[in-house]
């Protein structure tokens, strides 16, 4: 009876397309899900329907997402529908699920159950070490470019051996040499990088039919969200797992494919019917998120793309306010206009700061916004800034934990060997790394050998011996300590707090370490041998958006790429200029230009009630003042839904010049200036006010003069007169 009541709840709350997607349970199924169309609702209800109506065991279902945050939300929604009936269900990211598979069966591809996962920083450090060993100049061969090339090769399922067959240039030859040594060093450290997790799982299945058959038998139904973001390795993995029962449900939208730089291939979704000719296709075209106006504007922008999948998006939501287009002088003008409108939304329309998000194409655009928000005291969070798990002190403690878990993790051992300082210099570390390289061993093996030598200088020998004893002692204690206690043991034995307190920001950094202990408390009830690897895996696979705290009442600053999957009542898209969005690097590549358009579409469809677009006539980026034309996407929006007037009329928010809303001087001028005002100076002539900020009892005002360029002046001494633009001056 419980199952029947759940089944009725599942089906009666769905629209006809959603219900069709839920009830199509046999064979391949492709769900084209427009933005805000309730695809997560469909996936979760489909899982509930499979269990409650079709009698499928939860242990026979796998649901794959692209972020830990999405996986958590999906799991919570399923629990709300099914309660304890969902026990045994597999929900997670590709990487998390494949990690579990490799920890169980990875021995067949040369991995121990305790392998470590190297994150982006670890990979770059290992490539730098490889370049040093191969005597290649990192200034000539960028470690980042080489890492990207290796990642692309692995996403195409090319190992260090098979990649050699595709080498066609000198740079690719360099990549090949680095790739081979890089993989050797990973193996010595019993480590994998992100791409290895997928690559080795595919190779595990391909080379071991018995292992594949076991997982195929277990996972009768496979559901994959954001299918347009899969790469070749992920698609091959999906095909292998679904190879027996063919109950594959792929959910995605080609118009939201924006990760080609991560090797995502939208063709996986577009060619789904070629791979599965008998697939059922369901179109989710009702939008529950945005107003009619926002949806219409976004549809007009994306309609010109050639890889656009035709779908007639519609919504029962209100018509809504027009899309607001703001013309700004520069990026500071733009930032202050955004802040002024956010203030109006909070004061007049009852929104909170947390309801507002500012989206931009590149991270550098956040600088002017951050400065403005700090100046006006508006709370904000910067997604993709220095993330918690990327802070120096956190990475130090995690490196200790990783060495405790796997002493052969050479990258982590190199990080902590002299942190805090213990008299082991770079020269000693280089000698250890050279020995490890020459003997095909890990850094820990080299340390163990060298620390026992009698021909070393006493100081170096004693320092290495003490460090080895420290690590071995912590490893021994780790067998009996709960995870929070293990962290405390590391902090005490290394005197890490005293090390932090030598810095001016030591208290703040120590608070971060204490916060890490708070996170570790979630693993306190697990056995030590189980808790540590689970914690380290979680830390390695966390992403920017996973760390977002949705409850905070702060304005969100986030790139368009990171904003995918999120939604906000009010969205500000800044930098709507050709050269910024679309990015100038895409101009000569038609495929890249199509993706830029999809990126704009994704940004616009994050908005629920209000959408603001802005462009600057002149923008300073990377030290250059760029005068860009308006973004080509603006002209695609019909004039009847695009306005420059604002939401409340010109008297309420003056989008043509409402920038600095407080008096600029403290008794030094009878006249109030605003950024954007035209002024006259006896020496420099006519100019426009670009910026202003307090300086003791005066104000510094920046004016861009027509003939002599920008000048920073003290307002009390400048003797500026406010003028109309074309006044004739004596």
* Residues annotated as catalytic (active site), given as ranges: 39-40, 225-226, 256, 606
Q: Which of 579, 595, 585 is nearest to 306 (CA)?
A: 595
| 365 SS3 class | helix
CA gap 465, 450 in Å, rounded? 9
Q: Which of 328, 345, 346 is nearest to 337 (CA)?
A: 328
Copy the structure tokens of residue 390: 């990327």
Which string of DSSP letters, residue by residue, matches 27-69? S-EEEEE-TTS-HHHHHHHHHHHHHHTT---GGGEEEEESSHH
CA gap 133, 410 in Å, rounded? 15
Handedness of CA 578, 579, 580, 586 (dihedral sign): positive
- Strand residue runs (E) in 617-677: 619-621, 624-626, 642-643
Copy the structure tokens of residue 210: 């018995």
| 514 SS3 class | helix
CA gap 498, 510 in Å, rounded? 10
| 111 SS3 class | coil
Copy the structure tokens of residue 63: 């649901």
CA gap 98, 111 in Å, rounded? 13
| 564 SS3 class | coil
Give the number of residues written for the chain: 730
Residue 712 — φ and ψ, nearest 5°?
Answer: -100, 125
Cβ-proximal residues to 539 (8 Å cutoff; 6+ apart), any chain: 389, 398
Residues 283, 17 contacting (CB under 8 angstroms):
yes
| 183 SS3 class | helix
Q: What angle do CA 312, 316, 318 make, to 5 degrees?
A: 115
DSSP state of 615: E
Q: Which of 588, 587, 580, 540 is nearest to 560 (CA)?
A: 580
Strand partners, 193: 118
CA gap 196, 154 in Å, rounded? 7
Q: Which of 13, 5, 1, 16 is nearest to 44 (CA)?
A: 13
Strand partners, 251: 31
Copy the structure tokens of residue 327: 């013309």
Give the chain's largest Cα–Cα span.
92
CA gap 569, 670 in Å, rounded? 40
Measure Cα distances from 487 to 159, 516, 518, 717 in Å: 37, 9, 11, 59
Strand partners, 611: 571
DSSP state of 314: B
């Amino acid at each position: 009876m419980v199952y029947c009541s759940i089944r009725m709840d599942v089906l009666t709350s769905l629209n006809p397309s959603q219900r069709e997607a839920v009830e199509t349970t046999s064979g391949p199924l492709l769900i084209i899900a427009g933005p805000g169309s309730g695809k997560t609702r469909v996936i979760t209800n489909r899982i509930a329907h499979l269990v409650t109506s079709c009698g499928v065991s939860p242990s026979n279902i796998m649901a794959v997402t692209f972020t830990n945050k999405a996986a958590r939300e999906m799991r919570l929604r399923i629990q709300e529908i099914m309660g304890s009936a969902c026990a045994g269900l597999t929900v997670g990211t590709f990487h998390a699920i494949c990690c579990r598979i490799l920890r169980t069966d990875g021995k067949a591809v040369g991995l121990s159950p305790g392998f470590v996962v190297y994150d982006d920083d670890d990979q770059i450090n290992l490539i730098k070490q490889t370049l040093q060993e191969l005597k290649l100049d990192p200034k000539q061969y960028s470690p980042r470019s080489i890492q990207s090339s290796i990642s692309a090769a692995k996403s195409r399922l090319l190992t260090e051996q098979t990649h050699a067959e595709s080498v066609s240039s000198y740079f690719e030859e360099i990549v090949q040499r680095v790739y081979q040594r890089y993989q050797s060093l990973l193996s010595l450290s019993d480590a994998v990088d992100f791409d290895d997790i997928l690559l080795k799982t595919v190779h595990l299945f391909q080379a071991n039919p018995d292992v594949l058959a076991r997982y195929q038998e277990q996972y009768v139904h496979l559901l994959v969200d954001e299918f347009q973001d899969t790469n070749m390795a992920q698609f091959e993995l999906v095909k292998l797992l679904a190879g027996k029962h063919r109950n594959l449900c792929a959910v995605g939208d080609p118009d939201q494919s924006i990760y080609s730089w991560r090797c995502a291939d939208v063709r996986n979704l577009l060619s789904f019917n070629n791979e599965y000719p008998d697939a059922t296709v369901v179109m989710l075209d009702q939008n529950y998120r945005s107003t009619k106006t926002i949806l219409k504007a976004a549809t007009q922008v994306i309609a010109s793309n050639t890889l656009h999948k035709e779908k007639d998006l519609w919504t029962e939501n209100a018509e809504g306010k027009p899309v607001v287009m703001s013309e700004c002088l520069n990026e500071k003008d733009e930032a202050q206009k955004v802040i002024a409108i956010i203030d109006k939304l909070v004061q007049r329309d009852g929104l909170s700061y947390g309801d507002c998000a500012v989206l931009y194409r590149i991270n550098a655009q956040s600088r002017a916004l951050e400065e403005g928000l700090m100046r006006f005291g508006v709370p904000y969070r910067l997604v993709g800034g220095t993330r918690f798990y990327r802070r120096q002190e956190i990475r130090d403690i995690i490196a200790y934990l990783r060495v405790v878990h796997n002493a052969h993790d050479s990258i982590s051992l190199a990080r902590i060997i002299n942190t805090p300082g213990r008299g082991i210099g770079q020269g000693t570390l280089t000698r250890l790394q050279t020995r490890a390289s020459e003997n095909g061993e890990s850094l820990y093996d080299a340390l163990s050998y060298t620390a026992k030598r009698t021909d070393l200088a006493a100081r170096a020998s004693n320092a290495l011996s003490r460090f080895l004893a420290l690590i071995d002692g912590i490893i021994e204690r780790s067998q009996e300590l709960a995870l929070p206690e293990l962290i405390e043991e590391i902090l005490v034995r290394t005197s890490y707090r005293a090390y932090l307190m030598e810095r001016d920001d030591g208290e703040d950094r120590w608070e971060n370490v204490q916060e890490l202990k708070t996170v570790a408390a979630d693993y306190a009830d697990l056995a030590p041998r189980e808790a540590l690897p689970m914690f380290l895996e979680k830390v390695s696979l966390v992403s920017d958006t996973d760390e977002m705290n949705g409850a905070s009442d702060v304005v969100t600053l986030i790139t368009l790429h990171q904003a995918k999957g999120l939604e906000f009542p009010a969205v500000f898209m800044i930098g709507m200029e050709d050269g910024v969005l679309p990015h100038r690097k895409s101009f000569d590549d038609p495929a890249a230009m199509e993706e830029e358009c999809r990126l704009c579409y994704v940004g616009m469809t994050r908005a629920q009630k209000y959408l603001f677009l802005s462009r600057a006539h002149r923008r300073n980026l990377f030290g250059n003042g760029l005068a860009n034309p308006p973004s080509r996407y603006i002209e695609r929006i019909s004039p009847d839904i695009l306005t420059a007037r604002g939401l409340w009329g010109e008297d309420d928010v003056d989008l043509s010049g409402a920038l600095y809303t407080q008096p600029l001087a403290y008794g030094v001028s009878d006249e109030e200036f605003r950024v954007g005002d035209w002024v006259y100076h006896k020496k420099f002539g006519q100019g426009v006010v670009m910026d202003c900020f307090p300086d003791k009892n005066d104000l510094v005002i920046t004016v861009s003069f027509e003939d002599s360029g920008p000048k920073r002046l003290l307002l009390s001494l400048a003797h500026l007169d406010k003028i109309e633009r074309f006044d004739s001056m004596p």
